Amino acid sequence: MVAEGRWVAGLLLVLAGLGCDEGAGVGGAGGGGATGEGGNAGAPVGPPTVGKLVIEEVFYAGSPGLIEHTFNDQFIDVRNDSDGLINVDGLLFGDVFGAAGEINPGQPTSPFADDEDFIYLANAFRVPGLGSDYPLLPGETLTVVHDGTNHQPDSVLDLSGADFEAFIESSGKDDDWPTVANLEVVHFTGGFDWLMPVFGPAVVIARVDDPAQLERVPHPDFPERELLKVPVSSVIDGVECLMDEGSEAYKRLPASVDASFIIVSDTYTGESVRRKPGSANVPGLLDSDSSADDFELRSTPTPGE
Ligand SMILES: [Ca+2]
Ligand SMILES: [Ca+2]
Ligand SMILES: [Ca+2]
């Protein structure tokens, strides 16, 4: 849960007054020894010295539902896996164009799959803020959702406490849920709402100074639509989720972002993919840029944890 700036400032004063180090009490990555900058106990939270933001969990497959399946409960968790405060203002979320597998016979692979330098987003959203409005403390999680409401009993998930939701006002068919702030729409090519492919999205988080300056290229299937061309150098993290074990040819992310892929057992199973915890030698969460190694299947998603 991301906090408002003033609240965090107050908390930091309290932490400083108590002589806590920056990881205390928030389950943070701790340590800081990897850069040799340890020994700053008592100091307020400074810039991150170890680690970064990582995609912690993606729930895209949807849920069985009471009567019929549902997908309005999709979410993405991003964790501050560093040992310092990170402002998430302006953080870009997106899903990469391209099918997750041979969903229909003859389904083409992405024509952009061989581009090592750029990714091509079908949809992109951005955390609002002016630079320090949404600080995320070490170990804290930012939860971004499709619809910020309580989806029970149709789903096990109550997302009314999420940090941000996609709200597509222009569709006229999305709800602006009152307890969850809205992401800024940067680029949208979907229907009514930001629906990540339930067969498997390639999800990225990125930092882009001015998304309006990014190049738009024609959508291969719908000439009237466009895709957002984003430099791989601006990508902070990404995870490639595909339809099944035989779908490797449909990989959309370059190997530098994700060298492999992860799957769930089927659509509408209520399963998520979640990054594995590190070990004594690897603080925080695993991030070898290979999702087959770094992620695991979860039968019950855990947003905000
Ligand atoms: Ca929505
Ligand atoms: Ca809202
Ligand atoms: Ca990574």
Q: Is 305 a member of any domain?
A: no
228 in any annotated domain: yes
Q: Is the pLDDT of residue 175 over 60?
A: yes
Joined tokens for residue 99: 């099918």
Q: What's the 288 CA to ligand 3 centre distance in angstroms?
A: 6
208 assigned to some structural domain: yes
pLDDT band at 28 (very low <50, low <70, confident <90, very high): very low
Quick one: pLDDT at residue 179?
98
Residue 165 Cα to ligand 2 middle (Å) = 6
Domain count, the chain: 1
The radius of gyration of the chain from alpha carbons, rounded to an integer in Å, stands at 19
Looking at residue 20, what is its pLDDT? 35
CA of 251 to the centre of ligand 3 (A): 15
- Phi and psi based region of residue 117 (left: phi greater than 0; alpha: psi -120 to 50; beta: remaining): alpha
The stretch 256-280 carries a mean pLDDT of: 96
* Residue pointed to by tokens 């003033």: 6
- Strand 141-145 to 216-218 pairing: unpaired
**Nearest bound ligand to the CA of residue 123:** 1
Look at residue 303 and tell me if it is in a domain: no
Structural tokens at position 28: 């943070």
DSSP code per residue over the chain: ----HHHHHHHHHHHHHHT--TTTTTT-----GGGT----TTSPP-S-SS--EEEEEEE-S-B--SSS-B-TT-EEEEEE-SSS-EE-TT-EEEEESS-SS-SSTTPPPPTTTT-SSEEEEEEEEE--SSSSSSEE-TT-EEEEESS-SB-TTTSS-B-TT-SEE---GGGS-----TTSEEPEEEE--SSSS----TT--EEEEE--S-GGGS-EEE-SS-TTSEEEEEEGGGEEEEEEB-SSTT-GGG--S-TTT-SS-B--SSTTS--EEEEPB--SSS-SB--SS-HHHHEEEESS--TT-
148 inside domain = yes
Find the mean pLDDT for residues 7-14: 41
Residue 20 lies in a domain: yes
Query: Which ligand is the nearest neighbour of the Cα of 254?
Result: 3
Residue 43 has pLDDT above 80, yes or no: no
Window from 46-50, 198-202, 281-285 with minimum mean pLDDT: 46-50
Question: What pLDDT shows up at residue 280?
Answer: 81
Q: What is the mean pLDDT of residues 247-263?
A: 98
Task: Compute, in angstroms, the gap from residue 253 CA to the centroid of ligand 1.
Answer: 25
pLDDT tier at 31, thresholds 50, 70, 90: very low
What pLDDT band is residue 223 in, cutting at 50, 70 and 90?
confident
- Asked if the structure places residue 182 within a domain, the reply is yes
Query: Rounded to the nearest whole angstrom, what is the distance from the C-alpha of residue 223 to the centroid of ligand 1?
Result: 25
Task: Dump pLDDT digits (tens) for 77-103.
Answer: 999 999 999 999 999 999 999 999 999
Q: Give me the pLDDT at residue 3, please.
A: 62
Ligand nearest to the CA of 236: 3
Can you give the pTM of this predicted structure?
Answer: 0.86
Average pLDDT over residues 162-175: 97
Query: Which has the closest alpha carbon to 16: 46, 36, 37, 38?
Result: 46
| Residue 128 Cα to ligand 2 middle (Å) | 13
Ligand 2: centre distance to CA 116 (Å):
36
Measure 75 CA to ligand 1 centroid, in angstroms: 11
Domain around 115: 5-298
304 within some domain: no
Q: Which residues crowd ion ligand 1, with CB under 5 Å? A: 147, 166, 174, 193
Residue 219 and residue 125 in contact, taking contact as beta carbons nearer than 8 Å: no
Which ligand is in closest contact with the Cα of 169? 1
| pLDDT band, residue 191 (cuts 50/70/90) | confident
Question: What ligand is nearest to the CA atom of residue 289?
Answer: 3
Among all bound ligands, the one having the nearest atom to the CA of 74 is 1
Which of the ligands is closest to the CA of residue 145?
1
Q: Closest-lying ligand to the alpha carbon of 71?
A: 1
CA of 151 from ligand 3 middle (Å) equals: 30
